[in-house]
Structure 1
Amino acid sequence: MTFRAAIIGLGVGEQHARTFAQHPDSEVTWLYDLEMAKAEHLAEELGQGKPAESYEQILAAPDVDIVSIATYDHLHFDEVCRALDHGKHIFVEKPLCRTASEVDEISDRWIKAGKPHIRSNLVLRGAAVYVWLKQAIAAGEFGDIYAFDGDYLYGRLEKITEGWRKDVPDYSVMEGGGVHIIDLMLWLMGETPNSVACTGTNIATRDTGFRYDDFMASTFSFASGAVGRITANFGCVHPHHHVIRVFGTKATFIYDDQGPRLFRDRRDGATAEALDLAPLPDGKGILIPGFIQAIRNGDDPTREAEREFDLIRVLAAADKAHADGAPQNIRPTTYTSSNDKTGQQP
């Protein structure tokens, strides 16, 4: 069976379209962007897809199995809900939505829709070094994980001071960027934190049109006793980058400007083992083949969907802790299957 995909938003969505068009089990049937010329040009280049005049036209079309959403963050909730109401599988840029009430609504509609496949495009899951790290943790090479540190260094200040993000009500840099690091933490550690504290500052952007904190720092507590510390730093004087440190009782993983490496020895003078593995994925479409395969194989979508829902609940709790100036408890999804502690690539 060939799965028919409609792509909504042709910025990052152009990479979605190219991946669906090139995959042997899918084809692009519709393309939609606020700039019609983008859809027309891409349809001609791909030799697939018809430019749509509206999202409504796509949802009403009979030749759509998958809706791939790459619009502005604050539009995702409504677009995901409407796609669910039409029984579509959904591939969506991060974040899936922005609040606890929104994810509850999406969860309810997902169940009513018969549990179609739904996946956010959190591409660090597909980077070779993190696939290896997931497998190594699952194999016990790190012993017990007791801390995860991550920094999302955005470095593209003009995108929040001049672009669309400054006009989004209650824009959160943790949701807009830190989401990648939080998702990686949840995936690697195989558990959801039970509480979070968060603070932030707007020093880097206080004299600009951006009205919210450009730096947020969250501390997460896990039932296992582990601690996670994650920052979303949009105002930094630094090229776009991320930093990850995973501390276990047997080994420590570090990725920063010096590349990914591993310490297995805590003695003075110990040297790190360099890891010749890519810390970034090969493009924004890297998770799409696995998404298509899951649909084709008839895999149970529950575990992946509920992982997406858990991520938003964690993010929403961090945002509330930031807004209220007080720690927040996190309500996890009750999974119908066991937590994913395997080393399988998502």
Structure 2
Amino acid sequence: MTLNVAVIGLGVGEQHARAFAAAPDAQVTWLYDLDTAKSDRIARDLGQGRVAESYEQILADPNVDAVSIATFDHLHFDEVCRAFGAGKHVFVEKPLCRTAAEVDEIAARWDKAGRPHLRSNLVLRGAPVYGWLKNAIAAGEFGEIYAFDGDYLYGRLEKITEGWRKDVPDYSVMEGGGVHIIDLMLWLMGETPAAVSTLGSKIATQGTGFQYDDFMAATFTFASGAVGRITANFGCVHPHHHVIRLFGTKATFIYDDQGPRLFRSRTDGARAEKLDLAPLPDGKGVLIPDFIQAIQTGADPAPAAEREFDLIRVIAAADAAHRDGSPQTIRPYPH
């Protein structure tokens, strides 16, 4: 069976469309963007897909199996809920949604819709070095993990001072960018944190049209005793980048501008073991083949969807800790 997919939002969504069109068992049937000229161009380039006049037109088509959503962050909640209501599977850019109330509603609608497949495009999951790291942790090479540090160095200040993000009420840099690092932390550690405290500042964007903090730092505590420290740094004078440090009782993993590497010794002068593995995925569509395969093979959709729900609940708790100025307990999805 060929999976019929509609793509809405053709900024990064163009890469979604190209990935679905390139898959042997999927095809793009609809393209929708506010810029119809862009939709026309991409349809011609792909040789697939009709240009939709509205999202409603897509949802009303019974031949559409899945919707790929790449619109502005604050629109995802409504669009995901409507897709579930129309009986579609959903692939959506990060973040899935923005608040605890929204993720609870999405989870309820997902369940009511018969639990369709749901994935969020957190592309660092597809980076070769983190696939290796996940397997190495599972194999016991790191011993017991006791700390995870991650920095999301956005370095694209103009996107929050001049772009659409400045007009989104209560925009959160942790939700908009730190989500990638928090997702890695949850995936690699295999544990949902129990509580979080968060601080922030808006020094880098003072005097601009951006009203919210451009820097946030969250500290997560886990039932195991492990600690996670995540920063979302949108105002940094630095190229777009991320930094990861994972500490275990047997080994330490570091990725920064010197590349990914591994320490297996505490001895003074010990040399790092360099890892010849890419720290970034090969494009924004790297997770799409697995999404297609899961639908085609009838895989259980619950583990992937519940992971997305947990992620948003963790981020929402970090945002609440920042807003309220007090630690927050994290309520995981009831698996």
- TM class by shorter-chain length? over 0.9
Pairwise CA distance, 1:216: 0.1
- CA shift at 1:61, angstroms? 1.0
Partner of 1:288: 288
Quick one: distance in 1 between partners of 2:243 and 2:87? 38
Q: Distance in 2 between matches of 1:29 and 1:292?
A: 15
Any idea what the Cα deviations from partners look like across 1:240-299, whole Å, max 9, x if unmatched? Answer: 000000000000000000000000001100000000000000000000000101111100
**Which residue of structure 1 lines up, in the alignment, with residue 52 of structure 2?**
52
Q: Secondary structure at the match of 2:111?
A: helix
Q: Does 1:212 align with 2:216?
A: no
Once residues 223 and 29 of structure 1 are traced to their aligned partners in structure 2, the CA distance between those partners, rounded to angstroms, is 46
**Residue matched to 1:338:** none
Aligned to 2:80: 80
1:145 aligns with 2:128: no
TM-score w.r.t. length of structure 2: 1.00
Deviation of 1:314 after TM superposition, in Å, equals 0.2
Counting only pairs closer than 5 Å after superposition, residues 32-71 of structure 1 correspond to structure 2 as: 32-71=32-71
Instruction: Give the superposition deviation at 1:334.
Output: 2.0
Quote how far apart the aligned CAs of 1:63 are. 2.0
Instruction: Name segments (4+ residues, structure 1) moved above 3 Å.
Output: none
Q: Deviations over 1:117-169 (max 9, x none)?
A: 00000000000000000000000000000000000000000000000000000
Number of residue pairs matched by the alignment: 335
Matches within 5 A, 1:187-336: 187-335=187-335
Residue 4 of structure 1 aligns with an amino acid whose one-letter code is N
* Cα distance in structure 1, aligned partners of 2:329 and 2:321: 9
Please tell me whether residue 135 in structure 1 is matched to residue 125 in structure 2: no
Distance 2:177 2:183 in 1: 11
2:5 matched residue in structure 1: 5
CA positional deviation for 1:87:
1.0
> How far apart in 2 are the matches of 1:53 and 1:296?
29
TM-score, structure 1 length as denominator? 0.97
1-structure distance, mates of 2:96, 2:228: 22
Structure 1 CA distance for aligned equivalents of residues 231 and 85 of structure 2:
35
Rounded to whole Å, the distance in 1 between the matches of 2:316 and 2:182 is 12
Distance across 2 between alignment mates of 1:334 and 1:216: 28
Read off the aligned partner of 1:231 and give its amino acid letter. Answer: T
Q: Secondary structure at the match of 2:204?
A: helix
1:90 aligns with 2:90: yes
3-state secondary structure, aligned to 1:216? strand
- Tell me by how many angstroms 1:16 deviates: 0.3
What residue identity is the alignment partner of 1:202? Answer: K
Distance 2:98 2:302 in 1: 21
In structure 2, C-alpha distance between the alignment counterparts of 1:63 and 1:15, rounded to whole Å: 22
Q: Which residue of structure 2 aligns with residue 99 of structure 1?
A: 99
Q: Distance in 1 between matches of 2:300 and 2:194?
A: 26
Q: Equivalents in 2 of 1:316, 1:5: separation in Å?
A: 30
For each residue in 1:32-72, what CA deviation from the matched residue of structure 2 results, as whole angstroms up to 9, or x when unmatched?
Answer: 00001111111111110000000000000122101000000
Percent identity over paired residues: 79
- Higher mean C-alpha displacement, 248-257 vs 53-62: 53-62
Mind listing any 5+ residue stretches in structure 2 that lack a counterpart?
Answer: none
- 1:2-58 Cα deviation digits (max 9, x unpaired): 000000000000000000001001000000000011111111111100000000000
Equivalent residue number for residue 14 of structure 1: 14
Where structure 1 has 5 or more consecutive residues not aligned to the other structure, the ranges are 336-346
